[in-house]
Copies of this chain bind each other. A is one copy, B any other.
Amino acid sequence: MGRLLRQQKKTVALAESCSGGYIAHMLTEIPGASAYFEGGIIPYHNRHKAGLLDVSEEVLAQKGAVSEETVAQMAEGVRRQFGASIGLSSSGIAGPSGGWAEKPVGTVWIACATEKGVRTKKLQLTADRGLNIRLTGISVLNLLRQELANISE
């Protein structure tokens, strides 16, 4: 991934809610990450999604934090904040508590924003918190890979 980002001279910023820093950790474990990783925001509480990432209060109230609209605005917001080529985001219910009928534990939305627009994806993961964090991270990096390889699903 680092190689593709370097080749294309692109930079990345992260807005991680349910993945809680795991994606940033994966990226920054690699030597030389500072060449393409601008930084990230972990807005664990909803008020920080609005305050730090400009997610609209209306979207948060009407669609909820775990929604396509919220992750899209998070990815666009963090891309703008850091002046990055690509903004990536996650928001979901990692568990074990916090789920309900409409959005059970393991419901996760992810997004990838570029100058061309935003792509989003819904994941329906497991009941295991640790596994949900890891699967979310890998899925977000896969969105990034598809973006860099110019693959649309």
Contact B31 A20 (CB under 8 A): no
A38 CA to B42 CA in the complex, in Å?
Answer: 8
Also in contact, A130 and B29, with CB within 8 A (given A24-B21, A24-B24, A82-B48): yes
Residues of B within 8 A of A97 (CB): 31-32
A32 CA to B130 CA in the complex, in Å?
Answer: 13
**What is the interface residue range for chain A against chain B?**
35 or more
Contact B29 A133 (CB under 8 A): yes
Name the distance in Å between A80's Cβ and chain B's nearest Cβ.
12
Contact B52 A28 (CB under 8 A): no
Residues of B within 8 A of A20 (CB): 24-25, 27-29, 33, 37
Contact B42 A39 (CB under 8 A): yes
Contact A39 B41 (CB under 8 A): yes
Chain B proximity mask over A40-57: 1 for CB below 8 Å, otherwise 0: 111111001000100000
Residues of B within 8 A of A22 (CB): 21, 25, 28
Contact of A31 among B29, B52, B129 (CB under 8 A): B129
Chain A residues in the interface with B (C-beta under 8 A): 14, 16, 20-25, 27-29, 31-34, 37-45, 48, 52, 81-82, 94-97, 129-130, 133
